[in-house]
Amino acid sequence: MKVQGQCHCGAIRYEAEVQPGSMRVCHCLDCQIMSGSAFRTNIPAPAETFRLLQGKPRHYVKTADSGAQRVTGFCEQCGTQLYATDPGTPKRYSLRVGTLAQRDQVGGPQAQIWTRRRVGWMPPFEGVDEIDGQP
């Protein structure tokens, strides 16, 4: 499915291909802090389908406790996080579902990851697979 996304202010726009029903909810501490919420929703897109249509995201390289690095792309004007990917030559992009125009059409989450970090007041999503850490 072809999707279009953009930051809040509209300075950056992109398009990509995603598989409906492949969304994940991440409860890791980095996602909680970086999203300013209790979790973050992501959907993968193969790198060969990702294309910037307007603007250029600023990048921040975050290093996990494991030492793994992820490049996060965001709008330097409004701060909207757009995606994460691998450093170097990306194989895929992890798109932030809230930036997609088609967020209602990509289906609900298929899995929750890092559930051991889920905040205590957040109930599990009924019928959604749970993975304790990184798959």
Using alpha carbons, select from 122, 102, 100, 124 the residue that is nearest to residue 111: 124
Confidence band (pLDDT; 50, 70, 90) for 44? very high
Using alpha carbons, select from 100, 91, 92, 86 the residue that is nearest to residue 41: 100
- The stretch 58-78 carries a mean pLDDT of 94
pLDDT at residue 129, rounded to an integer: 95
pLDDT at residue 135, rounded to an integer: 86
43, 78, 94, 115 from 46: Cα distances, Å: 10, 26, 9, 25
Q: Within 13 A of 18's CA, how many CA atoms are on the CB side? A: 26
For the chain, the domains span: 2-131
Q: Distance between CA 90 and CA 71 in Å, rounded? A: 9
What are the residue ranges of helices labelled H in 18-99? 29-35
pLDDT digits (tens, 9 = 90+) for 86-129: 999 999 999 999 999 999 999 999 999 999 999 999 999 999 99
Q: Distance between CA 129 and CA 112 in Å, rounded? A: 6
2-131: CATH architecture: Beta Complex (2.170)
pTM of the model: 0.93
pLDDT digits (tens, 9 = 90+) for 6-32: 999 999 999 999 999 999 999 999 999
Confidence band (pLDDT; 50, 70, 90) for 34? very high
Q: Is the pLDDT of residue 66 over 90?
A: no
The token pair at 55 is 């603007």
